[in-house]
Structure 1
Amino acid sequence: MSDHTAAGGGSRASDRSQTLTRLRSVSGEMATATLQRLDETLPWYAALPPARRSAIGLVAQSGIQSFINWFASRGLPSDSGTAESEPTSAAEASHPHTDAWVAADIFGNAPRELIRSVSLQQTLQLVQVVISVVQEQFTSDDPELRLAFLTYSRDVAFAAADVYAKAAEARGQWDDRLEALVVDSVLNGESADELPSRVAALGWQAVGEVNAVIASVHGVPDLDQLRRQARQLGAELLVGVQADRLVLVLAESEHEEGVERSAAFSVQRVVSGLMSHFSDGPIVIGPPVPTVLEASTSAQAAQAGFTAVAGWQSAPRPTLADDVLPERALAGDPLARVTLIQRAYLPLVQQTTDLLGTLRAYLESGRSLEGTARALYVHPNTVRYRLRRIAEVVGWDPTEPRDALILQTALILGAINDTHE
């Protein structure tokens, strides 16, 4: 090695040592200036709770200290015939992969909830602020240090992206498992105590009533695409796959501020818009319930309807679970039996006019007005009036064939129930 080369190397080593000494002496000043700039330029940072602001401050200080360690570990630029390319500190030897140890140094002490509450975009804004402060106030007079800091900040940006990517992947897998657990609990009516916290963890934000839907599927559907399409239709969605069935929990998503829906929310409209994700089998919509916490009632009705709908050959798609109450009752669904008695039998029993007797006579006569009038010794117009009143009271019209089947099933179940009381 020539004396000139040795002298040059010694000079650069001396300069680097002085630079490192200066960096270490102003590291606290760097951190203070950075936090002040964050407060001045990033409104979302100023609005954070004190604990999270403090956590971000620790991350910024870790980043500055990590840069100093990184700069110390780089050694001098190698010249031919020199030995200065060897590691100059234990840091370089112990951290051969820059991105990995930069991520560990900066983000390793950050609370996990900080990564969830501060987005990647906001993190990159933080990095940009740190870069601008350090460049303006601490590296402007040293081209080598300025270049080194730009290189380091690039590594930080890649490290941040890697940290967030891994967190997103892990959270996505966790969310999928939690969502499947929630849907399974809703379907089976289990774990009611844990349901509120689990639903909240999934970010459920809905308004209005909730419906469960069970639809036929073949294979594994594209659930991400299904969720995106449901959001476009204005629906909040929980989804789970149960063998050949897709279980959905649907509600209207919260309105964004200043945005009005182009049409009133309708579960039937949403389900119709998702038809491409279902197979050719039945689709049954459970009755609405006030909140997701009562969704198991809707899910159980939808599940019973899904099983029994084969008994109604001309059933529409989608089918309301309450439209297959007779088939559900015949299949042994206790909820359908109770629903028929409460909604069709008891309201007629409570009427002062003999609506129940009129309905029974009308159905037993083969839905003949004249036959009913003769059996009751009344005018046919009286029968017509009472039939209209029945439709008003219970919501099913005895003159319609399908409604007549529902009402006749209700009369049978009501009579059986009376004999056992």
Structure 2
Amino acid sequence: MSIAPLVDYLRGQSSQIGDLLAQRYREEIVEYRSLPEGFIDQDVAPTAANNLETMLQALTDDSADPDNNRFDVFRDSAVRRFHQGVPMQALLHAYRLWGHTVWEQVLKAPRATPEARLAAAGKIMQHVDVVSTVVAQAYLEESSGVIQDREILRRDLLEALIAGTAAQRIERLSGKFGLVADAKHAVVIMRHRRLGYAEPSSLRESLRTVRAHLHPDAGQSVLTGVRDEEIVAIYPVQARDHLDTLRQQANAMARESPDYHVGVSRSHLGLASIPTAYLEAQNAVQTAAAGNESRAYIYSDALLDRIVRECTLRNTLIEDTLTPLQQYDTEHDSNLVATLRAYIASAFNLTRASASLVVQPNTVRYRLHRIAELTGHDPFSAEDVILLSLGLRATDQDAGGETISGGATWYLDGPRK
């Protein structure tokens, strides 16, 4: 069986095959079409021509081997595609298209015998399989190296920012991750509710959740990473509405991750203030552990907790606000404390409070008037509702006790033994 006529025909059609491939790449592979002008003609097409010549050699040479130097051009092209941002799926799609296109030309060969076409079909299938394996391996090796190096740099930068040291390293790396040195940033922490129970797979999934939810305005980057049992994010906040957006996104993140607490710091100017923001987010997480609600806790929550905890009139506050309500609930099997809690949590909205309690708004209104009679503090008065809210917070602290982490109690200025 002579395969030489078929080989000669395909070599003669090399230019036409190249043009047809370029057209099909543009039509069928979105990622190729979106790359800069000239990319297909100046890079992809020459690689396709090399691919054809390598396959034609394989038709008459059974020594083709994936480790043979003849495949180096395809390894190099796979590395270029990775750095050009072409996904592997698109790269492999291109090689499949190449195989289909060459086979179509084999069928059109005027002097090819059925045996020659059958031999060519086997070689084309084998060649596409071998080259696909070669380029996939090269692509993955390149991507793994780059991704690994980038993750190491990301962790290095995150640690330097939290520690507040290595200013030169921070200056060198921050630009690589889109952090602006003189901009405002907030820190977000997501930590497992039970320390020591977060599996690596759970942390990786939670990191993906953080990255899926935290999206500042276009052109701004969020630095995220895993630190011990925490997922930490440094979020750019350039305006007041950006902070509101962050809170909404963090709340959604907390609702989707019921096994984790979420804490958010205030916004601070400059990367040098990240250590302060990190401590604030730590304290917000500790407050989340005590509050136990499915939402993100903001630093102001932790600030109120400290004010209440260190108040010298703390016991007087509780006795003056919550103690009468607790006694009344016990004696009458009522829900005044729960109603006060729902009223405050709903931002003093009777309709939302009644919905959470599954009662009528008039029932909530009646209970609030009863609270005023028992305590002397009117929930409809701004000053009085502040006292009632602080009393409720102080009572919750007593019920939950100090939040302990690794033998240390966390305060706003750090842990104390």
Under a length normalisation based on structure 1, what TM-score does the superposition of the two structures give?
0.53
Question: Does 1:289 find its partner at 2:267?
Answer: yes
1:187 to 159, 162, 165: 162
Map of 1:148 onto structure 2: 123
Q: What is the Cα deviation at residue 118 of structure 1?
A: 1.6
Question: Does 1:64 find its partner at 2:52?
Answer: yes
8 Å contact kept, 2:266–2:299: no
Q: Distance in 1 between matches of 2:387 and 2:257?
A: 31
Count of residues paired in the alignment: 299
CA 1:404 to 1:240, structure 2 compared with 1: closer, same or farther past 3 Å?
A: same
8 Å contact kept, 1:60–1:130: yes
Q: What is the Cα deviation at residue 173 of structure 1?
A: 2.8
CA 1:165 to 1:43, structure 2 compared with 1: closer, same or farther past 3 Å?
A: closer
Map of 1:122 onto structure 2: 90
8 Å contact kept, 2:47–2:73: no
Q: Distance in 1 between matches of 2:288 and 2:60?
A: 79
Q: What is the Cα deviation at residue 102 of structure 1?
A: 6.3
User: Once structures 1 and 2 are overlaid, which stretch shifts more, 61-70 or 312-321?
Assistant: 312-321
Output one character per residue of 1:374-406: Cα deviation in whole Å (capped at 9) or x when no partner.
xxxxxxxxxx99xx67799xxx6587247899x
CA 1:292 to 1:274, structure 2 compared with 1: closer, same or farther past 3 Å?
A: farther
Map of 1:55 onto structure 2: 43
Q: Distance in 2 between matches of 1:173 and 1:314?
A: 33
* Superposition map of 1:78-227 within 5 A: 92=63, 97-98=65-66, 103-109=71-77, 112=80, 114=82, 117-138=85-106, 140-141=108-109, 142=112, 143=117, 144-189=119-164, 191-194=169-172, 197-200=175-178, 211-213=187-189, 215=191, 217-218=195-196, 220-222=199-201, 223-227=203-207
Q: Distance in 2 between matches of 1:314 and 1:200?
A: 32
Map of 1:271 onto structure 2: 254
Q: What is the Cα deviation at residue 167 of structure 1?
A: 4.0
8 Å contact kept, 1:35–1:57: yes
Map of 2:348 onto structure 1: none
Q: Distance in 1 between matches of 2:97 and 2:171?
A: 45
Map of 2:32 onto structure 1: 45
Map of 1:85 onto structure 2: none
CA 1:289 to 1:162, structure 2 compared with 1: closer, same or farther past 3 Å?
A: same
- Give 3-state SS (helix, strand or coil) of 2:98's partner: helix
Q: Distance in 2 between matches of 1:17 and 1:176?
A: 52
Larger radius of gyration: 1
Under a length normalisation based on structure 2, what TM-score does the superposition of the two structures give?
0.54
CA 1:181 to 1:18, structure 2 compared with 1: closer, same or farther past 3 Å?
A: same
Q: Distance in 2 between matches of 1:297 and 1:391?
A: 33
CA 1:200 to 1:167, structure 2 compared with 1: closer, same or farther past 3 Å?
A: farther
Q: What is the Cα deviation at residue 49 of structure 1?
A: 0.7
CA 1:170 to 1:391, structure 2 compared with 1: closer, same or farther past 3 Å?
A: farther
Map of 2:335 onto structure 1: none
- Give 3-state SS (helix, strand or coil) of 1:118's partner: coil
Q: With a CA cutoff of 8 Å and minimum separation of 6, indicate the structure with the bigger relative contact order.
A: 2
Stretches of structure 1 lacking an aligned partner (at least 5 in a row): 1-11, 75-91, 202-207, 253-263, 330-359, 370-383, 406-421
Q: Distance in 2 between matches of 1:52 and 1:291?
A: 43
Q: What is the Cα deviation at residue 171 of structure 1?
A: 4.5
Question: Does 1:249 find its partner at 2:249?
Answer: no
Question: Does 1:400 find its partner at 2:390?
Answer: yes
Q: Which amino acid aligns with 2:159?
A: D
Q: What is the Cα deviation at residue 109 of structure 1?
A: 4.1
CA 1:284 to 1:41, structure 2 compared with 1: closer, same or farther past 3 Å?
A: closer
Percent sequence identity over matched residues? Answer: 15
Q: What is the Cα deviation at residue 249 of structure 1?
A: 1.6
- Give 3-state SS (helix, strand or coil) of 1:212's partner: strand
Map of 1:256 onto structure 2: none
Q: What is the Cα deviation at residue 34 of structure 1?
A: 2.1
Stretches of structure 2 lacking an aligned partner (at least 5 in a row): 216-221, 237-246, 321-376, 396-417
2:300 to 314, 317, 322: 322
Q: Distance in 2 between matches of 1:314 and 1:109?
A: 52
CA 1:72 to 1:55, structure 2 compared with 1: closer, same or farther past 3 Å?
A: same
Q: What is the Cα deviation at residue 211 of structure 1?
A: 4.2
8 Å contact kept, 2:262–2:288: no
Q: Distance in 2 between matches of 1:123 and 1:298?
A: 43
CA 1:250 to 1:200, structure 2 compared with 1: closer, same or farther past 3 Å?
A: closer
Map of 1:300 onto structure 2: 279
User: Once structures 1 and 2 are overlaid, which stretch shifts more, 149-158 or 294-303?
Assistant: 294-303
